[in-house]
Chain A
Amino acid sequence: MTWLTPLIAGIAAAIAVPSLVILYFLKLRRRDMEVSTTLLWKKAIQDIQANAPFQKLRRNILLILQLLALAAAIAAVGQPQLSGDSTKGDRHIILIDRSASMNAIDGDPKKTTNPATRLEIAKKQAEELVETLREPGVFQKESADQAMVIAFDSTAEVRQQFTSDKSLLKAAIRSITATDGPTRLSEAMRLATAHSKPVVVENRGLVSGPGSVLHLFGDGKMPDALETQPGASDTFMFHRVGGPESGNVAIANVRAERAFDNPSQLSIFVGLQSTMRGPRAVDVELTIDGAVAGVKSVTMPPATSVMPETSNTDKGNEVASGAGATEGEGKPPTPVFTPSTGGVVFPMERVEGALVSVRLRGLDDDSAGNRALSATADVLPTDDAAYLVVPPAKRLAVAIVSARGNLFLSAALDGLPLSRHDVMSPEQFQKVLAEGRGGEYDVFVLDGWTPGPDGDGSLPPGRYVIFNAVPPGAGVVDKGVGGATQIVDWDRSHPVMRSVNLDPLIIGKNRAVEIVKPQAGGAGADVSAVVLASTTSGASIVEARGADWRAVIVPWDLMESNWPFDVGFIVFTAQAVGYVGGSSGGVIGQSQMVQAGSILSDRLPTGAGGVTIESPAGESSRLEAAADGRVVFGPIRATGFYRVSWAGSAGPTDSQRDGRNERFFAANLLDSRESDAASAETLELASRPVAAQDALETKGTRKLWPWFLLGALAVVMLEWFVYNRKVHV
């Protein structure tokens, strides 16, 4: 038991108790009674007083009761409270995970009458935690615990700064709503660390203080937990919500592809994963523009479990070291579950664009053995749906700009389903640009030549595939022509490099380039470049993009390599043109896909005005387009289709409705870690693992002073009763 204000209670006791006793002597109302003589009484009093100085008080139950009541009241002034054995810290940081997985409802939905999402449970636990915080004393405000509330998914925000006001804290906790974004603990931890209390020690300046107590409420599925580290003096507590056994079937990926040779052939690939312990039958329902276009049933195999490899190596180490310490002996190792994967493909013929949504529906065996669709497939509904914006099939218009002509390029492009395929000289290209007809072509393939820097020192607006040249202001620096080399590594996942094998490629005269980091605030600050393939001497294929241009750059000379004779060159050229040109074939719709929790950022045609964005829930908000037409919205909270509409000129792929141009974006979770709904037993931080607490074990504090006051009241009532009994005897 601790006392918030013991000193004040002591002072009050020192004043009040003697006062009561004195008052008792003074105030005592005695009944007058005439007696024949006081002789014997005085003698008796003298005798008794001689025997016991406080004889008068000893048997006086009224005074004893009053003293008791006073003692209870004074104890209440001292504000005692039962403090638990755990948290003694002054400052608590409450981190609440609001990511998509916190939408999960654990347990059998048929059996739970009052289903609560993990976030609701976490909020309830957090409120209970707030309730156990030490309250400010009536007289000493600084004795209170303080807490701050941080809500995080992939981003983190402070919902309530440090305060000891429990109602504020609870309101902040209650106001947290779930998002559909993935979890990133690191930003929340950075925010928490930034708010931890530094303490000024004389002669030593700022040092870390007594430390904060960090309370993480979540399911513990944090992919970046290993990168985070609480302060050395901080206490980290992981309050787990959700069951470790909860399985989940999720759409791990969704993708639309058009065939290269026939862009009207559209395929929707739906990648699935299951962390269920048993097989799970689901219906995958494809909806195009709101109408169901197809349903496919798939049975997901159970997740494979692997026991952690601890036996052999550890034993060998122990034998070798001779140490007796065995780690984790008391606890059987928990198996590690690897999600099973699966997928379905929906092929179809569709030229027009579409808003495609995919939804999983669970197939449950009812008691009669019939399979019935259930509303939800699993514990987590967020990842049972995925959205995709499929742009209309389009045949690109491509121009090869070459001073000398390039047979290989022309031949490669000839095979592509292009609407237009021109070859022009640099002069003609400049003329086309000068005449403002650059928009007629979707992609310029530049061969051994680049246009000079335009006004901002970068490429003119447009889409480029550049061979045998390094454009200025593209974030890459020409390191000069070198000797023969080979590709050692390439990004196989990039849409441009997919299905391209660069192993046989031998570059005769390599032109090495190096990616330079744009200087913040300087020219080319919005230029970014990524390496798609690299040789021993540096980058060899680069994708670069600026504010209004996009380019795939192959800086070395094709003629000095064996690539034109490789089938990979054809694939590369087709994919690169398709990629920069905004997809006629191959993977489409990626540019209009955004992950929940991230920022939606796109560029509208210049002069777009009255931009509004409409969320899946139908809430509309205004966006201010920058001078170059850039709009930013986010972070995206919910999955679904976001509709950006504006007045003004339209882009080539934009549709129109009610006189306004509109462009759709699909927000998805598509995070396999987040879709693994099983909550973690331990949270592996960089510094140490933190075991989960299922129940709120931090019995922080419990106020006792109201009980003391109640006790005082009860004693006063008893005293009144006794007084009446005594008076009316």
Chain B
Amino acid sequence: MQRTQTITRPKALEDLLGGDLISKIGGLDIASKKIFAGKLKGERRSKKRGQSVEFADHRPYVTGDDIRHIDWNIFGRLDRLFLKLFLEEEDLSLHVVIDASSSSDCGEPSKFLFMQKAAMALGYVGLVNLNRVAATSMGGTTVSAESSGTIEVEPGEVRQVRDLRGRRRTHDLSRFICSLAPAGPITFRDAAERIALTRRGKGVMVVFSDFFFKDGYEAGLRMLVGHGYDVFCVQVLSPQEVEPPITGDLRLKDVEDGDLAEVTISAPLLKRYKANLAAYCEELRAFCARRDMSLITVKSDTPIDSLLLDYLRKRGVVR
């Protein structure tokens, strides 16, 4: 709930991924409810018959087919042109989206740090499985290591690193994630629109956010769910948001837009707040379910390995 008191920003990959975690998640792979076509032939079997070495089927030749795939052996036996169909091995595009608005910079432990770690872990899983990995931050600032300056991002802006593949790009990904710092408000709909416009192909998209958007999450999620992307939403809440440890007469200030709310904490009010939070999450879950998205709500004190090995595996994000 409250802004994180002692902010520890990860400096390098080691801060994001520990050796333990790597060994635990090393056997995982990104999964999808559907197998998506990819740009590069990866280790993934596509439903599309393709140029893989693995035979799938034959079909009669029609005009215009690539004559290189004609099975001449069958033509020799049957004197009819058949095309040899192979299972095409495709890579899977993994797109990790981090909400870098100020609200993510709250809670103990910090929601943003949790998102960074989770995104890095997922990205690592994607990279080692030779998936095409992209990472996007909505809002926030980017601390460039070279200029030691920060680049503010407009509320609707996004920053991305794309087309990473292979274990050796792990550092590129970690550098990007480490360079992120949450700042300011974001306009989720605009950011989602930009992400939707710039992404290519199809794949798995995991959105880390608290989904507390003043202008609503519906329009943004609608933008993301299109174009054949399998969208997983991970709603990260701090323990303080779930159980507010506050008392007394307070003037609550929204960290993103400075909006004020004067409250006198009382048992009925807390009860009402929790009911509202539960209703909000339930509403979000129902919205995602209606649009064939998956939503899990985790607290920021959840261990990353249990997030991946337990929550996400159950939901079929990894296997």
Contacts and interface: CB of A to CB of B under 8 A. Distances in A.
B252 A38 contact: yes
B210 interface: yes
A48 B254 contact: no
Given A36-B210, A59-B267, A44 B273 contact: yes
Nearest to A57: B264
Interface string A636-671: 000000000000000000000000000000000000
Q: Which of A29, A39, A42 has the most CB of B within 10 A?
A: A39
B276 A36 contact: no
B255 A48 contact: no
B76 interface: no
A327 interface: no
B107 A47 contact: no
B103 A727 contact: no
Contacts of B144: none
A41 interface: yes
B299 to A, nearest CB: 13
Interface residues of A, number: 27
Interface in B93-135: 102-104, 106-107, 111
Contacts of B106: 34-36
B268 A36 contact: no
A36 B249 contact: no
Interface in A304-337: none
Given A36-B210, A36-B212, A36-B241, A30 B251 contact: yes
Given A30-B262, A44-B273, A45-B261, A36 B248 contact: no
Contact of B264 (A34, A35, A60): A60
A29 B262 CA distance: 10
Nearest to B244: A35
A723 to B, nearest CB: 10
A23 interface: no
A719 B212 CA distance: 39
Nearest to B101: A36
Contact of A726 (B210, B248, B255): B248
Contacts of A56: 264
A32 interface: yes
A722 to B, nearest CB: 12
A42 B255 contact: no
B286 interface: no
A34 to B, nearest CB: 5
B75 interface: no
Given A28-B249, A45-B261, A727-B248, A34 B2 contact: yes
Contact of A36 (B103, B260, B263, B273): B103
B251 A33 contact: yes
Nearest to A55: B268
A361 to B, nearest CB: 85
A383 B111 CA distance: 106
A40 interface: yes
Contact of A31 (B102, B210, B248): B248
Given A38-B252, A38-B254, A41-B252, A48 B262 contact: no
Contacts of A140: none
B247 A729 contact: yes
A35 B249 CA distance: 14
Contacts of A41: 252, 261, 263, 273
B277 interface: yes
A41 B266 CA distance: 12
Contact of B103 (A37, A47, A55, A60): A37
A137 to B, nearest CB: 40
B212 A39 contact: yes
B276 A43 contact: yes
A35 B252 contact: yes
Interface string B201-223: 00000000010101000000000
Interface in A13-32: 28-32
B269 interface: yes
B256 interface: yes
B249 A29 contact: yes
Nearest to A47: B272
Contacts of B269: 44-45, 48
A31 B250 contact: yes
Contact of B272 (A34, A38, A48): A48
Contacts of A42: 261
B254 A30 contact: no
B276 A34 contact: no
A37 B253 contact: no
B67 interface: no
A726 B247 CA distance: 8
Nearest to B256: A37
Nearest to A40: B276
A48 B273 CA distance: 10
B276 A33 contact: no
Contacts of A726: 247-248
Contact of A34 (B212, B255, B266, B280): B255
B259 interface: yes
Contacts of B1: 35-36
Q: Which of B107, B253, B276 has the most CB of A within 10 A?
A: B276
Contacts of A729: 247-248
Interface string B1-34: 1110000000000000000000000000000000
B249 A31 contact: yes
A651 B3 CA distance: 118
B197 interface: no
A45 B260 CA distance: 12
B246 interface: yes
B253 A40 contact: no
B238 interface: yes
A88 B277 CA distance: 66
A59 B262 contact: no
A31 B263 CA distance: 10
A29 B261 CA distance: 13
Contacts of B2: 33-35
Given A39-B212, A59-B268, 19 more contacts: A30-B262, A31-B249, A32-B251, A34-B106, A35-B252, A36-B111, A36-B210, A36-B238, A36-B254, A38-B253, A38-B254, A38-B261, A39-B254, A41-B263, A41-B273, A44-B269, A45-B263, A48-B268, A48-B269
Interface of A: 28-45, 47-48, 55-56, 59-60, 726-727, 729
3 closest pairs, A vs B, by CB?
A36-B103, A37-B212, A36-B106
17 contacts: A28-B264, A29-B249, A30-B249, A30-B250, A30-B251, A32-B250, A33-B250, A36-B238, A36-B255, A37-B212, A38-B260, A38-B261, A40-B212, A40-B280, A44-B273, A47-B276, A59-B267
